[in-house]
Amino acid sequence: MLYRKNHDWLSERAILAAKNIDVNELNFKIQEQITGELRIYKSVDSATNQDDVVNYPPEFLNSLDLSGLPPHNLQLKVGSVVIMLRNINQPRLCNGTRLAIKKLLNNVIEATILKGKYKGEDVLIPRIPMIPTDVPFEFKRLQFPVRLAFAMTINKSQGQSLSVCGINLENSCFSHGQLYVACSRVGKPSDLFIYAPGNQTKNIVYHKALQ
């Protein structure tokens, strides 16, 4: 596709959605449109506490798809847009940095930074161990710390500045301020494109904030 190597075009556009299920579906559909080989990188998951090894086998850990953690089956193509999930080389590679995939190697990913002070720089992303904090037990996932980011959750988009933004509200916002965050990623209303069933959605606001 024409946008595959147009990093300026890619860096200024994203689709936002409230829930991971919508984001994942959009990302897979968009990535399918890119020509080229699909590479699949599988994580190595293990319980960090030896007492938990029997209760939480690798097959169960592999099935967990948690916010802020890369998937067990990370599927990428050259030209895909990804977002960093951890700080690994500050200030270049920080949590929230968006990049375009340049090369997919066995043990490292080469990518180009799309926005910010280091825009246009090529960087190498290694596999790193990550331990999530939002589960009742502790386990480690060894994987590249990235997720597809043609589309991203509204929460993950905080701090991002876009020229064109699409918002998918098929599943509506569910927490205070989400709709505001989504709509404020662009500078003017004409750059905002919203899909909402029935052309309406609900805005979640804490009542105390209005008092």
Question: What percent of the chain clears pLDDT 90, i.e. is strictly above it?
Answer: 68
pLDDT at 197 over 90: no
Across the range 121-146, mean pLDDT stands at 95
Domain residue ranges of the chain, discontinuous segments joined by +: 2-210
Please say if the pLDDT value at position 180 is more than 70: yes
- Work out the burial of residue 157: count CB atoms within 10 Å of its CB; fewer than 13 is exposed, 13-18 middle, 19 or more buried: buried
Mean pLDDT of 88-114: 94
Q: Where are the beta strands (DSSP E) in the chain?
A: 13-17, 39-42, 44-47, 73-76, 81-84, 98-104, 108-113, 122-126, 128-130, 139-143, 146-148, 151-153, 164-168, 192-195
C-alpha to C-alpha distances, 172 to 24, 62, 161, 167, 204, nearest whole angstrom: 16, 29, 22, 10, 9
Q: What is the pLDDT of residue 80?
A: 96
pLDDT given for residue 3 in this prediction: 44
pLDDT at 211 over 80: no
Structure pTM? 0.86
Residues of the chain with pLDDT > 70: what percent?
95
Position 210 scores a pLDDT of 60
Lowest mean pLDDT among 5-14, 54-63, 66-75, 148-157: 5-14
pLDDT, average across residues 11-15: 92
pLDDT at position 5 is 55
Q: What is the mean pLDDT of residues 91-100?
A: 93
